[in-house]
């Protein structure tokens, strides 16, 4: 009996011991489970962060790809621009190579080149070249009020008038382009006429003679009325083959006896009754001047017409005169020559 009880007690103790061990192991398993769960959550958080960074990186890659594509397009456009610029540069070099250059043999130095092409059709030619230069007061300025103001100033101030300075350069431009075998004379006209550099013809290749013309030109003062007839009368006995007239308008004075000419009965300024002349009378005066004094030997007349206020009939009248002789009229750009 006692042996059976002892055996029961022993079995109970063993079972109890196993139960206690099981509880401990369960607690340990629970702790491990909690730790693993915590690590899982942390890993999930890390995975979420990594996925976020990957998404950000993908966006950055897409943006960078767009920038790279834009840069490639810009580089391609720049290459095309460079290619076009190279073509233009090559064309410009070719144009420069084909541009006429003033030769060392030119008697009158002038920086302007390309004389035949700069002004369409204008070319200095002929065996006996006459330059008729309007040296009246209006040749100082383009605006009448400025002309009037300058009339009362010193000769030095008149010679510095912008239009007169331009006129001097035009004369030099013509002289620099004289044919090698040509002769030249420059006649300035206002109330009277003056042959610059002395009377008679000068050789276009005579540097000393041309220098004397330039010297007289530089001290010439624009003043008085426009008497084209004075210049033409001085030119008449010389037998010019080509005439270049530099002026800004129709004449305001002449040499004829206008009292005996019926068309001038209303032109009081030509009859010594007034100090101004109308546009209508200027046209009549010009036509009478050409009829009486223009060259009769078939000389070709070219006209360089500079701007002035209040003389709209000048261009058609001078154009008609030049056209009849086979010449031309030009009204050059403000930056010429």
pLDDT confidence tier of residue 77, bands split at 50, 70 and 90: confident
Write out pLDDT tens, residues 148-192: 999 889 999 999 999 999 999 999 999 999 998 999 999 999 999
Find, among 291, 303, 277, the residue nearest to 229 by Cα.
291
273 — phi, psi (to 5°)? Answer: -115, -5
Q: What is the pLDDT of residue 168?
A: 96
Average pLDDT value for residue range 247-261: 89
Q: At what angle do helices 228-235 and 279-293 cross, to 10 degrees?
A: 10
Q: How far from the centroid of its chain's Cα atoms is residue 326's Cα?
A: 32
The pLDDT of residue 108 is 64
**pTM of the complete model:** 0.67
The dihedral region occupied by 85, where left means phi > 0, alpha psi between -120 and 50, and beta the remainder, is alpha
Strand partners, 304: 246, 330
Residue 211's Cβ-side half-sphere holds a number of Cα atoms within 13 Å equal to 5
Asked whether residue 279 carries a pLDDT value surpassing 50, the answer given is: yes
Burial (Cβ within 10 Å: 0-12, 13-18, ≥19) of residue 212? middle
- Once rounded to an integer, what is the mean pLDDT over residues 137-158? 92
Residues counted in the chain = 337
- Between 63 and 137, the higher pLDDT residue: 137
Joined tokens for residue 166: 């331009």
Asked if residue 213 lies in contact with residue 202, where contact means CB atoms within 8 angstroms, the answer is yes
Average pLDDT, integer, range 245-255: 94
pLDDT in tens, 78-136: 888 888 888 888 888 887 777 665 554 456 666 554 444 345 567 899 999 999 999 99
Q: What is the pLDDT of residue 117?
A: 39
The pLDDT of residue 104 is: 44
pLDDT of residue 181: 92
CB 109 within 8 Å of CB 102: yes
């Amino acid at each position: 009996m006692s042996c059976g009880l002892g055996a029961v007690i022993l079995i109970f103790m063993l079972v109890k011991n196993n139960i206690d061990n099981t509880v401990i192991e369960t607690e340990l398993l629970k702790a491990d489970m909690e730790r693993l769960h915590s690590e899982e959550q942390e890993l999930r958080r890390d995975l979420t962060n990594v996925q976020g960074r990957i998404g950000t990186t993908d966006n950055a890659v897409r943006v960078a790809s767009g920038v790279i594509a834009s840069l490639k397009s810009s580089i391609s456009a720049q290459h095309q621009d460079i290619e076009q610029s190279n073509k233009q540069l090559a064309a410009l070099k070719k144009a420069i190579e084909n541009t006429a250059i003033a030769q060392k043999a030119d008697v009158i130095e002038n920086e302007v080149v390309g004389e035949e092409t700069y002004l369409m059709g204008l070319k200095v030619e002929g065996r006996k070249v006459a330059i008729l230069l309007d040296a009246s007061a209006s040749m100082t300025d383009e605006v009448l009020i400025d002309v009037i103001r300058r009339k009362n100033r010193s000769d030095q101030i008149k010679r510095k008038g912008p239009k007169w300075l331009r006129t001097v350069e035009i004369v030099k431009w013509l002289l620099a382009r004289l044919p090698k075998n040509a002769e030249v004379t420059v006649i300035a006209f206002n109330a009277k006429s003056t042959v610059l550099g002395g009377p008679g013809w000068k050789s276009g290749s005579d540097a000393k003679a041309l220098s004397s013309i330039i010297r007289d030109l530089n001290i010439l003062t624009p003043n008085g009325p426009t008497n084209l007839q004075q210049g033409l009368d001085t030119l008449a006995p010389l037998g010019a083959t080509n005439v270049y007239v530099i002026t800004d308008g129709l004449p305001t004075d002449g040499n004829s006896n206008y009292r005996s000419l019926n068309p001038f009965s209303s032109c009081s300024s030509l009859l010594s009754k007034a100090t101004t002349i109308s546009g209508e009378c200027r046209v009549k005066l010009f036509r009478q001047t050409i009829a009486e004094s223009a060259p009769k030997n078939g000389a070709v007349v070219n006209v360089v017409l500079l701007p002035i206020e209040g003389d709209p009939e000048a261009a058609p009248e001078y154009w008609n005169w030049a056209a009849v002789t086979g010449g031309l009229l030009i009204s050059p750009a403000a930056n010429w020559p």
